Chain A
Amino acid sequence: DAGITQSPRYKITETGRQVTLMCHQTWSHSYMFWYRQDLGHGLRLIYYSAAADITDKGEVPDGYVVSRSKTENFPLTLESATRSQTSVYFCASSPTSYNEQFFGPGTRLTVL
């Protein structure tokens, strides 16, 4: 199916555990982004990638790791989850850095 998908859609984990959120897009867009959405903060950029093997930090990168070995995939890893990382995570892609972004459906992560 064409588009951008995220998995899992819902995840509950415990403090200290490693969690990986997956993002896959079928458009071959160069740019991919990870955001977190929290009440009162809107969306905040965690990391972005301009191309395979090129990633850079956003506003709130601490506690997160990303990789991009293939253009279509951009996984986000929480190496040791904390309660403050409970949030809804959105992945997005774009053909360029300044065009519209296409968002996935989101992953709701709860850290107990």
Chain B
Amino acid sequence: SQQGEEDPQALSIQEGENATMNCSYKTSINNLQWYRQNSGRGLVHLILIRSNEREKHSGRLRVTLDTSKKSSSLLITASRAADTASYFCATDGNTGNQFYFGTGTSLTVIP
């Protein structure tokens, strides 16, 4: 399988703390994306990082990409209870027309 694997599977933190999730993948990629899924809802796109980029920011989100290690991390700073959700990475496996999703990290932010 070309899917990414998120680590940890579950994470519980206090409001205001930072949350870091990691994604490892197996094949070379063009793009890597992070998505959020609230319970019972569809996925929402957070950020896309291309293979020639090393870091990207969007609000309280920071994504890094290390293609030599085939890994990416998602950092959420100053977490809020509303950040409670599952987070998925998705890689295109260098195919350009399919994205492969990992099994996700379940984040719980305790108020």
* Chain A interface residues (CB < 8 Å from chain B): 31, 35, 40-45, 48, 50, 56, 58-59, 90, 92, 97-106
Contacts and interface: CB of A to CB of B under 8 A. Distances in A.
B42 A48 contact: no
B12 interface: no
A35 B43 CA distance: 11
Main secondary structure of the interface of B (DSSP, over half): loop
Q: Which bucket holds chain B's interface residue count?
A: 20 to 34
Contact of A44 (B35, B45, B97, B101): B101
Given A48-B97, A105-B41, 20 more contacts: A35-B101, A43-B43, A43-B90, A44-B101, A56-B97, A59-B100, A90-B42, A90-B43, A92-B42, A97-B96, A98-B30, A98-B31, A98-B92, A99-B48, A100-B33, A100-B45, A101-B33, A101-B43, A103-B42, A104-B42
B28 interface: no
A42 B103 contact: yes
